Structure 1
Amino acid sequence: MRWSSRIALAALATFILAACDDDDPVRPTAQGRVRAMHAISNVATMDMLFNTTSYKTNVAYKGSDGYKATAVGATAVKFRKSGVATDLLSANATVANGADYTVIALGTEAAPQSLVLTDDNATPAAGKVKLRAIHAAAGAGAVDVYVLANANDLATATPAASNLAARAASAYIDRDAGTYVVVLTAAGNKTALLTVSGVQVAAGGIRSIIAVEKTGGGTPLEGITLTDR
C-alpha cells in the first residue's frame, strides 16, 4: 500500500472515532412541574395558560388538571374567564429543575388573588404519608388544622398546624399510612369550619387538603383533596 493511502486511511479512522465520541445522546431539557387550580368563588369556569401555552380550558370552580412539565425559569400562570382573551389574574412561578409547584387563583372576580407554593413531593419515610393543609378561602380568618383518626377525637386533640392564615399552607404533616379526617377550626377554638372525611393515603402517598369558599363565596367552607404523589 502506498504511503499516501495509509495516511488517508489513518485520517479517516481518526475522523470516525471523533464523530463517535461526539455522538452523545441528546440531554433532556431541564424541567419542573406546575399545576394550577381555580378557586375564585364567583367565576364559574376559567381558561388557564402557562405563558402562551394552554394548560386547560373551561376549568370548573375547584378544578385543576394536575402537574404539567414546564421548562425551568419564569412561568406566568394566567387565569382567564372562559372564552375571554384577557387575563383576570397572572401569577409568576420561578421553576427550578426537578421541582414542583401549585398555583392557586382565589378571592373574587373583583379582587382576584394568587397563591404560589413550592411542593415537597419527596418520598415519605417507609410506611409513612405526608399531608398538608392549604387555606385558599380568602374571606375566612385564620384556622387551626387537625389530622384525626376519628372526628370524635377533636375535643381532646392538639392541632397539627395552628393559626394558618388565608393564602398560606401548613408544613407537611407526617402520619402512618391510613385513613384520616382533616378538620379546620377557627384559630384558637374547636369550632369546626371544615371537615374532610375519608382521606385515605397508602404508604408513600402525599395529599394536599385545600379549603375554599362555597360557590359564589362565603361559608360553609368546602374542601378539595389533591393527590400530589
Structure 2
Amino acid sequence: MTAPYVLMYHSIDHFDEDPYLITIRPGRFAEQMAWLARRGLRGVSVRELLRAPAPGLVGLTFDDAYADFGVHALPVLLRHGFTATVFVVAGRLGGTNDWDPLGPRKPLMDREDVLRAADAGMEIGSHTLTHLRLAGADPFDVEQEVKGSKAVLEEIVGGDVAGLAYPYGDHDADAVEAVRAAGYAYACSINPAGPGPHTLPRTYIGQRDRWLRLHAKRAVHRWKSGRGG
C-alpha cells in the first residue's frame, strides 16, 4: 500500500526554549501552509485523506492538542481552506504537557476548545488518555488508554473518533492490535512505521523547515513510496 503523505505538527506558538523541538512560531507555520497552497496542495485531515486519496492532498496532524492550536493554527488553516486532525490527550483536557520533564509547561485544549475545533471542520482523534507510551505497557493499561480516550472524545464531539496517534510514535504489535480491537479505523505513528492503516508513517515538521527543506521532505516521501522524485 502506498503510504499517504502526512505531516506531523505539535505546538504553534512563540517560544524562548523548545528542548523537544515541538514548537513552531506562528509566522513560520503560516509560511509552511502558504508553501503548500502555492504548490497546489491542500491540507486535509487524515480521515479525509484516507477516504479519498489524491496526489494533491496532504494530511495535517497536530499531536497533544495544545491550546495554541485554536489561536495560531486554526485561523491559518481556515484561511487556506485546509482541515487537519487534532490528536487529543483525552484525560488531560485543560491540563498541561506534564509528560515532558524539560522545557515549559504548555496548556492543552479543554472541552470547549475541542468542540470549537470540531465545529470548524477539524477531525478530532485520540492521543490516549494520559499520553502513556503504549509499547511494552501492561495490556490492561493499554486497553484503558485506547478505549477510554475514544469514549471520552466521542461523547464530546457527538460522533465517531476514527483515528489515534501513538504517544511518542511508539508502538508494538500488542499496542497495534489493541488499537484495532478498540474500533479505530487508523492510527498514526512516525516515519519509519509499518504497513497498514494502523501504523501510518508521518513526516515531522519543525521550526527549521522552510521551502527548501519542505520540498526535500516531500521528495523523500515520494521516493520511499515508489512514486518517483
Task: State TM-score, norm by structure 1.
Answer: 0.23
More strand, by proportion:
1
Relative contact order: is structure 1 or structure 2 higher (C-alpha 8 Å, sep ≥ 6)? Answer: 2
Q: TM-score, normalised by structure 2?
A: 0.23
